[in-house]
Amino acid sequence: MAYEGILLGMGNPLLDISAVVDEDFLKKYGIKLNDAILAEDKHLPMYEEMTKKYEVEFIAGGATQNSIRVAQWMLQIPGATSYMGCIGKDKFGEEMKKNSKLAGVNVHYYEDGTAPTGTCAVCVVGGERSLVANLSAANCYKSEHLKKPENWALVEKAKYFYIAGFFLTVSPESIQLFAEHAAAKNKVFMMNLSAPFICEFFRDVQEKALPYMDYVFGNETEARTFSKVHGWETDNVEEIALKISQWPKASGTHKRITVITQGADPVVVAEDGKLKKFPVILLPKEKLVDTNGAGDAFVGGFLSQLVQEKPIEECVRAGCYAANVIIQRSGCTYPEKPSFN
């Protein structure tokens, strides 16, 4: 099977500015632990304050880009994955390009001359992370870039598409182009619920893309928010996963599969009216560095097996393996080679 360009991702490429902070810092900026939000004006000074006050690390991030990089690392096949998104023409953007090339991902960035490369503050307290994203250039992605022949060629070549829900705030029309192409060509289109605010405030664009989704990923908090927004009156993650999987589909080629992670609790998979639960690899608290990128890594591991047409059990096992590696390191980083067998 030819793996070149088999998996294509599109999203917000962000440079993570990661630091272990304290409760007071979170309070000062009105940040909740384990949340992911877009920066408002009140948050803008925090990036500067973090770099002055704490020991920060700069790590190439952005949810979709993390998942694609992890899938690439797990596959160990050069050029198996591609990625698109928008960066600025600046040193952070150059850093991002260098980082992605080293990771073996074929990146086709749209470079915007008017805005700086997007950043994401990763505030870590007690190993738990909270994200505040200042999209900047990432917010400038245009579907015209996608339509250029050299970029659309990546779409034609790919058999699997993955987009984090965060991109719904940027270019729903690009998502629709991916989705409709996948449905027309019987390819696999996948998205992530990504954050409670996406389910709450971007409900319309999320619902427009949902019929095209062959796989829906998310965590328990996002699933419960989705349920609340749709008036389902249940907090039961298994019920919610089933309901999402039964949402009407645009194409009947693939039945929708919903995959919900729950931190240290089992992964819930809903498929064809049936539920499966898979335990995760438990990690002693002292080995936990931070949870930043854990969900992204899970998806990356999962996708690395899915594109090889492995059974769902193997996909989940690889997802759990990748997440376990990432939470023992700072940010979404990994050793040179995976030891997954």
* 8 Å CB contact between 215 and 256: yes
Task: Please give the structure tokens belonging to residue 144.
Answer: 């015209």
* 8 Å CB contact between 133 and 36: yes
* 8 Å CB contact between 269 and 241: yes
- What does the alpha-carbon distance between residue 32 and residue 337 come to, in Å, rounded to a whole number? 34
Length of the chain: 341
Catalytic-residue membership of 214: no
- What does the alpha-carbon distance between residue 48 and residue 25 come to, in Å, rounded to a whole number? 13
- What does the alpha-carbon distance between residue 282 and residue 256 come to, in Å, rounded to a whole number? 28
* 8 Å CB contact between 237 and 276: no
- What does the alpha-carbon distance between residue 57 and residue 137 come to, in Å, rounded to a whole number? 21
User: What is residue 38's three-state secondary structure?
Assistant: strand
The strand pair at 81-88 and 7-10 is best described as: parallel
Angle at 81 between CA 97 and CA 206, to 5 degrees: 95
- What does the alpha-carbon distance between residue 95 and residue 86 come to, in Å, rounded to a whole number? 14
Residue for token pair 């002292």: 286
The residue type of 340 is: F
Shortest CA distance to 85 belongs to which of 3, 190, 13, 135? 13
Task: Indicate which residues carry an active-site annotation.
Answer: 296
